[in-house]
């Protein structure tokens, strides 16, 4: 984020009106310690909102997230999803394929179903960049994903 003022505005969740909701956190098993901290950030925010019930579903890797979201949506139609994962660039083009696949998959599903999917997948060049995004100098992307989910629930329930 480019400034503290912008960051404070983006992270504000005052006055959100959210009725009882179910949010499914779909997370990856790869880069487990980073993903666990992303989940911790989600829970840090969501525990302040007892009207939101969280459910967790693990998948092997990021490419499997869109399939899991699609199947869960067909079966139980939760109110929102938070997709969490971490892709760290290696020495092959695999990183690019995985990042493109997960981004396109989530974007496509967001246009096809009525439950928002928040993109909380870190795509980083190295482990330090991931650490910086789970409570380091670049904020906490797990908390930001939870805040985004709350804002999208508010939008879905009160405006749309």
Q: Considering Cα of 142, then 145, then 147, then 150, what sign does the dihedral take?
A: negative
Q: Is 103 exposed, middle or buried (0-12, 13-18, 19+ CB in 10 A)?
A: middle
Q: Are strands 52-59 and 21-28 parallel, antiparallel or unpaired?
A: parallel
Q: List C-alpha distances in Å: 114 to 58, 68, 90, 104, 117.
A: 22, 16, 35, 17, 9
Q: List C-alpha distances in Å: 7 to 71, 126, 134, 145, 147.
A: 34, 24, 15, 13, 12
Q: What distance in Å separates the CA atoms of residue 107 and residue 133, rounded to the nearest whole number? A: 22
Q: Which of 49, 94, 140, 154 is catalytic?
A: 94
94 catalytic residue (yes or no): yes
**What is the set of active-site residues?**
94
């Amino acid at each position: 984020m480019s400034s503290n003022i912008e960051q404070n505005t983006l992270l504000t969740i005052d006055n959100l009106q959210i009725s009882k909701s179910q949010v499914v956190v779909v997370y990856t098993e790869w880069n487990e310690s980073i993903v666990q901290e992303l989940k911790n950030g989600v829970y840090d925010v969501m525990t302040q909102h007892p009207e939101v019930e969280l459910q967790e579903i693990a998948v092997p890797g990021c490419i499997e997230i869109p399939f899991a979201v699609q199947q869960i949506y067909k079966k139980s139609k939760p109110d929102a999803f938070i997709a969490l994962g971490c892709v760290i660039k290696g020495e092959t083009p695999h990183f690019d394929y995985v990042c493109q696949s997960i981004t396109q998959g989530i974007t496509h599903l967001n246009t096809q179903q009525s439950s928002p999917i928040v993109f909380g997948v870190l795509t980083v060049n190295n482990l330090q960049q991931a650490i910086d995004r789970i409570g380091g100098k670049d904020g906490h992307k797990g908390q930001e994903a939870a805040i985004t989910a709350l804002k999208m629930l508010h939008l879905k329930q009160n405006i749309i």
